[in-house]
Amino acid sequence: MDHFSYKDGVYHAEDVSLELIAKEVGTPFYCYSKATLERHFNVFSRHFDDVGAKICYAVKANSNLGVLNTLAKLGSGADVVSEGEIRLALAAGIKAENIVFSGVGKAATEMAYALDQGIFQFNVESEPELRLLSDVALSKGTKANIAIRVNPDVDPKTHAKISTGQKESKFGIAIAHALPVYKLAATLSGINVQGVSVHIGSQLTTLEPFAQAFARVRQFVEELRSQGFTITTLDLGGGLGIPYGGEEPPLPDAYAEVAKKETAGLGCQLIFEPGRMLVGNAGILVSRVMYVKHNDGGRIFVIADAAMNDLMRPALYDAYHHIMPVRAADGNAPTELVDVVGPVCETGDIFAEQRLLKVPAAGDLILFRSAGAYGASMSNTYNARPLVPEVMVHGSQYAVVRKRQTYAELLARDTIPSW
Ligand SMILES: *Cc1c(COP(=O)(O)O)cnc(C)c1O
């Protein structure tokens, strides 16, 4: 459930009209609903209150400081994949003791920064990373608290580009080969082994892959303990899907039941890393139709002022985003199969192909739903298009939480060499 809806025929975020924001901020822009963010966090976290789990929001889904601060105030921790994300999380008020650091390519400088801040845990993804982390910790006279990210070889049944838990994946260490790496870790004096972590992919729409992965990890924790390891933390990752179109992903209560059942009696501090589930349906992208173009083949192109550089998911993952008019279409307006595209010079700059829509007119505002996750955080300036603003709504107020990049800022990034 979210707090976006039509009021008197105009789409609103909570109590603020998107026409008003478009007029004041310009288009395109991202719009987030604070009440929706809060609702999603609470709906997820309340199922884990009884076991005292740490909820470490996956910052890469949406790293806006306004979003992070909203989640920080609810007690969220952070799952980060770079020093930049650690800095954002800390700046937003997330405590270092609630930060876990994931990712296959952590640099020594990033490890050093994370150790200085005193983060909760490094999720180590390879043997060379483990050795380097030990060296960095030793050079500071400290120890790094780690879990090893194991790969349970489970098919998450999601898009190939967001599957991470199969044996061909670059992520983690195959569960069958992880024991020797734990034994190595025990010999490294800059390492303190505390847990096991797993994350099998994103936008999962069934529970079975989670159940399989958690069961394999549980067995592995038991094996580690029988070998004398003290395992106190169990990081079960993120990946719970959201409804973009027709999918019916499991609800948080069903997911929580599986997670708690598969880990019952282990006595581990559970950690979850939800990203998309918290922010995906708390954000939309609003755009203005620039032109409606009819080509010879009889195709109708709706050319929006937003493009693949603002919202990459359709181009990158063939992702579906529901497209709606900001001003509810007149019931008699004609419905046609149209292609909704952006201005970027790439054939892949298509938001929707042959979608049945009431054909908008040039100048109309449209919106892409479910754009809160992997939207703004993946955006870029391809075609020298400035980054678009992000707005957060709270009741009848709104705030610009990231201003539109100016052309001066865009040009200031580069320098011309003296020769
Ligand atoms: C991306 C990622 C997540 C979040 O995934 P969602 O599908 O957005 O919940 C969690 N953990 C790790 C390690 C990730 O890379």
At residue 156, does pLDDT exceed 90? no
Cα 200 to ligand 1 centre (Å):
9
Q: Where in the chain is the domain with CATH 2.40.37.10?
A: 4-32+280-411
Q: What is the pLDDT of residues 114-131, one digit of tens each?
A: 999 999 999 999 999 999
Confidence of residue 71 (pLDDT cuts 50, 70, 90): very high
Token pair in block for residue 169: 């994946």
Which phi and psi angles does 296 have, rounded to 5°? -60, -35
- Measured in whole angstroms, the distance separating CA 313 from the mean position of its chain's CA atoms is 12
Instruction: Give dist(CA 200, CA 210) in Å, integer.
Output: 8
Q: Where in the chain is the domain with CATH 3.20.20.10?
A: 34-276
Q: What is the pLDDT of residues 229-253, one digit of tens each?
A: 999 999 999 999 999 998 999 999 9
Nearest C-alpha neighbor of 100 from the set 134, 152, 60: 60
Ligand 1 probe mutation, 45, 59, 199, 377, most atoms within 8 A of CB = 199
Is 345 among the residues known to form the active site?
yes
Q: Are 58 and 72 in contact (CB under 8 A)?
A: no
User: For ligand 1, is residue 314 a contact (CB within 6 Å)?
Assistant: no
At residue 327, does pLDDT exceed 80? yes
Instruction: Give dist(CA 302, CA 290) in Å, integer.
Output: 8
Q: What confidence score (pLDDT) does residue 267 get?
A: 97
Partners of 131 in beta bridges: none
Cα 237 to ligand 1 centre (Å):
6
Q: What is the pLDDT of residues 270-296, one digit of tens each?
A: 999 999 999 999 999 999 999 999 998
Q: What is the CATH number of domain 34-276?
A: 3.20.20.10
User: For ligand 1, is residue 82 a contact (CB within 6 Å)?
Assistant: no
Q: What mean pLDDT is predicted for residues 181-207?
A: 97
Q: What confidence score (pLDDT) does residue 169 get?
A: 81
Token pair in block for residue 238: 């993120």
User: For ligand 1, is residue 149 a contact (CB within 6 Å)?
Assistant: no
Cα 374 to ligand 1 centre (Å):
11
At residue 162, does pLDDT exceed 80? no
The average confidence (pLDDT) of the chain is 96
Q: Which CATH superfamily is domain 4-32+280-411 in?
A: Lyase, Ornithine Decarboxylase; Chain A, domain 1 (2.40.37.10)
Instruction: Give dist(CA 144, CA 122) in Å, integer.
Output: 7
At residue 69, does pLDDT exceed 80? yes
At residue 167, does pLDDT exceed 80? no
Confidence of residue 398 (pLDDT cuts 50, 70, 90): very high
Confidence of residue 159 (pLDDT cuts 50, 70, 90): confident
